[in-house]
């Protein structure tokens, strides 16, 4: 008789899938390797997922949920925009280092490795962060936290471009080496310096003022 998998076993399948899709892409990924690394049979995977594509989408959504929950928790934690940005950048750096396979899987998507799902995944992956960052900047502008005049949606887009590259720089070999070439080993190896400099750049770009200033 078929025994239902525990949540921990399902999580192992997802984590094994994320590692495989990050390393091999959707086309090159193997359900046999995913099953073996998760300690289950391929038949068990087919009881939970229709096919490889279905597992791939589940892996993407699992990773998205983890990061989204972390960002939503810190983005509006403070009424000080600079402190909010510090919390977001800190979260992105530490999530990227702890969850490298998730970001490498996203990099595979952005490079065309899952082109049949590009539009759908772009909406799913980016829509929530777009809303969070746009609302954060709109609130700051309305409450006079910034000296400059800017479009919150466009500025959120530019800001997220920097955030996305930051995540890839901590997760993907090419972008990690690129960060070393630009910043040097000492700077690129220091999370504190990277966090301080990126927040400082955004602070100057947005004209952020301290509350009460």
Q: Spell out the domain ranges in the chain.
A: 62-206
pTM over 0.85: yes
Half-sphere exposure of 93 (CA within 13 A, CB side): 18
Per-residue confidence at 189, pLDDT binned at 50, 70, 90? confident
- Which residues, in sequence order, are CB contacts of 60 under 8 Å at separation 6+? 105, 106, 109, 121, 124, 125
SS3 (DSSP) at 208: strand
63 contacts 105 by C-beta, under 8 angstroms: yes
Gap between the Cα atoms of 200 and 195, Å rounded: 8
Chain segment 89-116, per-residue pLDDT in tens = 999 999 999 999 999 988 888 877 788 8
Residue 182: count other Cβ atoms within 10 Å of its Cβ. 10
Chain segment 138-163, per-residue pLDDT in tens = 999 999 999 888 999 999 999 999 99
Name the CATH topology of 62-206.
Answer: Tetracycline Repressor; domain 2 (1.10.357)
**Structure confidence at residue 187 (pLDDT):** 85
Q: Enter the tokens of residue 16.
A: 């094994």
Percentage helix, strand, coil for the chain under 3-state DSSP, each rounded to 5: 80, 0, 20
User: Is pLDDT above 60 for 2?
Assistant: no
**Structure confidence at residue 1 (pLDDT):** 43
């Amino acid at each position: 008789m078929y025994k239902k998998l525990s949540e921990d076993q399902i999580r192992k399948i997802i984590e094994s899938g994320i590692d495989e899709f990050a390393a091999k892409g959707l086309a090159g990924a193997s359900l046999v390797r995913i099953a073996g690394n998760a300690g289950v049979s391929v038949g068990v995977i087919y009881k939970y997922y229709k096919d490889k594509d279905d597992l791939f989408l589940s892996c993407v959504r699992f990773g998205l949920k983890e990061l989204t929950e972390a960002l939503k928790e810190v983005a509006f934690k403070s009424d000080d925009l600079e402190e909010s940005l510090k919390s977001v950048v800190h979260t992105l750096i530490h999530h990227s280092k702890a969850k490298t396979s998730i970001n490498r899987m996203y990099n595979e998507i952005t490079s065309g490795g899952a082109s049949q799902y590009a539009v759908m995944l772009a909406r799913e992956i980016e829509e929530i962060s777009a809303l969070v960052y746009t609302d954060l900047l709109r609130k700051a502008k309305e409450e006079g936290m910034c000296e400059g005049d800017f479009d919150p949606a466009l500025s959120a887009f530019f800001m997220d471009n920097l955030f996305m590259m930051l995540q890839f720089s901590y997760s993907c070999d090419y972008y990690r080496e690129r960060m070393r070439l630009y910043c040097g080993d000492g700077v690129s190896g220091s999370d504190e310096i990277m966090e301080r400099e990126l927040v400082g750049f955004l602070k100057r770009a947005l004209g952020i003022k301290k509350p009460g200033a």
